[in-house]
Chains A and B, each alone.
Chain A
Amino acid sequence: MFERILLIALFFLTVSILVGLYRVIKGPSLPDRVVALDTIGINIIAGVAIFSILLNTHAFFDIILLIGILSFIGTISFSKFIERGYIIEYKRDC
């Protein structure tokens, strides 16, 4: 019973990832894609968590944290890129 609920949750997460992916593909603007990517990242975190329960292991907990950090950093850098055109500032005087 519990396993079935987990599977259903996984199914809905997949659906939402696919919907996010549709946004990534379709666009129409770059910020749409970046936000969709962020959403996908969050959904993947949930997916990995459910997987860990399904597989009865805690080997993947690190990954959950890592995806959270990376998703954040990625979104930030994309945002900075969209806003300024570059990510790491280039100091002229060095």
Chain B
Amino acid sequence: MKGDHLLLLYFTLLVPFLFALLVPLLYRYMPRIHTGWFVLVVPTGIFIYMINLIPIIAKGEKLVNSVPWIPTLGINYSTYVDGLTLLFGLLISGIGALVVLYSIYYMSKQREALHNFYVYLLIFMGAMLGIAFSDNIFILYMFWELTSIASFLLIAYWYQRKQSRYGAQKSLIITVIGGLALLAGLILLSIMTNTFSIREMIEADQMIVKHQLFLPSMLLILLGAFTKSAQFPFHIWLPDAMEAPTPISAYLHSATMVKAGIYLVARFTPVFSGTIEWFWLVTGTGMITLLWGSFSAVKQNDLKAMLAFSTISQLGLIMCLLGIGSASLYASTAILAALFHLINHSTFKGCLFMVVGIVDHETGTRDIRRLGGLMNIMPITFTLMIIGSFSMAGLPPFNGFLSKELFFTGVLEAARLNIFHLETWGILLPILAWIASIFTFIYSMILVLKTFTGKYKPNKYEKKVHEAPLGMLISPIFLASLVILFFFFPNIISNNLLQPAMKAILPGLLEGGGFENNIKIWHGWTTEVFMTLGVAVVGMLLYISFPKWSGIYEYLPEKISFNYIYDRGLVGMEKLAAKITKTYMTGIVRDYLLYIFIFFVVVVGGSMVLLNNFTFNPSGNGPVSAYEVVLILVIIGAAVLVMLTKSRLTAVIGVGVIGFVVAMFFVIFRAPDLALTQLVVETVTVALFLLCFYHLPELGRETGGVGLRAANLIVSLGVGVLVTLLALTAQSNPLVDPISTFFENSYQLAGARNIVNAILVDFRGFDTMLEILVLSIAGLGVYSLIKLPLARRDNK
């Protein structure tokens, strides 16, 4: 059974990518049928396959397998299926199928580039499944980045709009920063545990906690998870990602991609949990996100923006519960609540996004200031909105009520604990959670009441408003019925899905005698019930009096918002980079030469001085004769003349003198071939200088003298002194004997009496060939430089 299963699993994971290749063909050759119908097969099939896995996983079995990808580096495409993985797999494929079905009716076949849409969507789906199923950290990271890219493409689906491009860029920048941090964190983890497999890392958790890289790797991985899951303060990309088509918002930005960070935190809980840093970072960030998200959601006027902030706050809630659950030995309810709410949030938020999409589709606006009075016109949509919103607000008989109760239980349990400074700060958790729930209640009410109640004003809408087509309603109806089903039969998913997932997050707890995983709809008059009642009452009062206190949002200074910081930060970074570049990229060659020379002097000279390497040993040198001294004096004189002269022609003549004296040196040092060549080349060079003279402006800029600049003098002296010292040092320390004895019998070896020529054309003929090539290129270059502009001028 195993082998077949695993093959099927790999196939299942790869199907979205393979099908993405087919989509353009289907779009092109089957134009009559909406491409979405073909695509719908993929997530549905995957979902059915995943359902078949439930009994296996519920029994406690785990599917582990690996296919080599880069075996020499230890990178294998290894999959690992446990409860947590399966939970995500079901969410991704299930909601994916519903979203595809919804998009068939939402996306117009005539006006939209559907093949792009479904290719991106399938890539995203495959990548998301890859994240959940991969065991190898590099595969995980690969799929992680693939989701970022697919999300980028989907947000900017309507790329003609400026806001879409802005949102896509913003989300890409933020999630990729997090993704890179995640990669670094994962690599640190693999250094600590000496494995690339997450499963083996979990087994080595005791060793990791004591390691000195523990804290950096934890922070980096959390940064990755927080950016992806839109946690405070990295939440700013999510509201801007609402420029995507609504099915995408429903799928990526409520049900799947933003839960990738949640998955990561849950997956690494066994590795990092039990430390105070992890507990407070995850719990604290989650709590702040929960508060800030629900607080900000109330002030939004756009329905999708409101849902975006609501997603942020609900993700914060799940994150907070995961953090509390990391103190697992004491508070196992929190993990149960987190997982349960994870599912619940996917159902009701997916439903809400689809409902908002319907409202947008049928009325032409998402602005709550223009909406109102739709209750009688769109009764089904209204019912769905009520189910979703009330579930989000945590009211019975919807599944949000159960997870909200569990959430309160979790924070209350945490407040009673005596670890991690909870005895002093723990009481804050339930209070903040309660306040956040009130805000959640308020915006849930706004969502329903501002949109659907009140008076219907037809002139406010651009089109004639009517109920949505049935096809568009199927998916939200399905999700809404799940919302209710989960309320009445929570233990079906609890036993089959949540229990194995909890075992995956808290493997250590299994030995501790199991845990409470029964979700009771009613468990007496407990504190939680009173808290929920309080939320409903206070929330309703605050909603009614909303116009009176909505002024507090005006007091929030614009400059503290993170969007402002992000935007200004980008502009500031660009300006700073431009400024820095402008300071050294002057466009003046003299400056660049200055950098090169200073760098040369500092690096080479500095290292020579530091290593104390300058030596001078004249013992191996030959005697100096009188005519050499004279020639040196002449060459120095000519060099000084070139530097100090005020006429360009004199400088040319000086250069010529130097060249001829060098030729004389070749004579004295017995190099006739060199002397011959040097003389000819020097003459030609001087002639070329004179040729250039004709084209230079009449006694140009430099007639006023070179002009002594202190910096230039110092640098040139530095270079000269350094090169001299280097030459002397090299001369004093011959490392190997010269190999010239070999060339001395050139007559026997090459039939040549002239040893220089024998080397040039026989022993080392290859160099000569390339030198010839250099001269040819130079000749051709000169020719084309002179000829081509002339030809262009002639054409005109």
Contact = CB atoms under 8 A, between A and B. Distances in A.
Interface string B356-376: 000000000000000000000
Contacts of B549: none
Q: How large is the interface on A (under 10, 10 to 19, 20 to 34, 35 or more residues)?
A: 35 or more
A14 B634 CA distance: 10
Interface string A51-89: 100010101101100110010011001100100011110
Contacts, number: 75
B678 to A, nearest CB: 10
Do most interface residues of chain B lie in helix, strand or loop, or is the interface mixed? helix
B650 A77 contact: no
B281 interface: no
Interface string B657-677: 100100110011010100110
Given A66-B680, A81-B693, A60 B686 contact: no
A44 interface: yes
A46 interface: no
Nearest to A63: B675
A41 to B, nearest CB: 8
A66 B679 contact: yes
A73 B683 CA distance: 9
Nearest to A18: B634
Contact of B680 (A18, A33, A44, A70): A70
B641 interface: yes
Nearest to B671: A59
A84 B1 CA distance: 99
Contacts of A67: 679
Interface string B674-702: 01100110010011001101100000000
A21 B638 contact: yes
Contacts of B589: none
A44 B662 CA distance: 12
Contact of B649 (A30, A40, A66): A30
Contacts of B637: 21, 25
A47 B653 contact: no
Contacts of A74: 656, 683, 686-687
B736 interface: no
Contacts of B687: 74, 77, 87
B29 interface: no
Nearest to A7: B626
Interface size class of B (residues with CB under 8 A): 20 to 34
Interface in B585-603: none
B630 interface: yes
Nearest to B664: A44
Contacts of B680: 66, 70
B627 interface: yes
B667 A25 contact: no
Which has the most chain B C-beta neighbours within 10 Å: A18, A30, A67?
Answer: A67
Contact of A14 (B630, B657, B691): B630
A70 B677 CA distance: 12
Nearest to A36: B653
A77 B638 contact: no
Contacts of A30: 649
A81 B675 CA distance: 26
Given A48-B667, A81-B693, A85-B694, A66 B650 contact: no
Nearest to B645: A25
B650 A27 contact: yes
Interface string A23-45: 01101001001000100110010
A88 B660 CA distance: 23
A33 B667 contact: no
A73 B680 CA distance: 11
Contacts of A14: 627, 630
A46 to B, nearest CB: 12
Contacts of B664: 44, 47-48
A62 B694 CA distance: 33
A21 B694 contact: no
Contacts of B630: 14, 18
B690 to A, nearest CB: 5
Given A21-B638, A25-B641, A44-B664, A33 B653 contact: yes
B793 to A, nearest CB: 13
A85 to B, nearest CB: 6
Contacts of B657: 21, 24, 37, 40
A60 to B, nearest CB: 5
16 contacts: A18-B630, A21-B634, A24-B654, A27-B650, A37-B656, A41-B660, A51-B667, A59-B670, A62-B676, A63-B675, A66-B676, A66-B680, A70-B680, A85-B694, A86-B691, A88-B691
Given A21-B657, A24-B653, A81-B690, 15 more contacts: A17-B634, A21-B634, A33-B649, A48-B667, A51-B668, A55-B670, A63-B667, A63-B672, A70-B680, A70-B683, A74-B683, A78-B690, A81-B694, A86-B694, A87-B687
- 4 closest pairs, A vs B, by CB? A59-B672, A70-B683, A86-B694, A14-B630
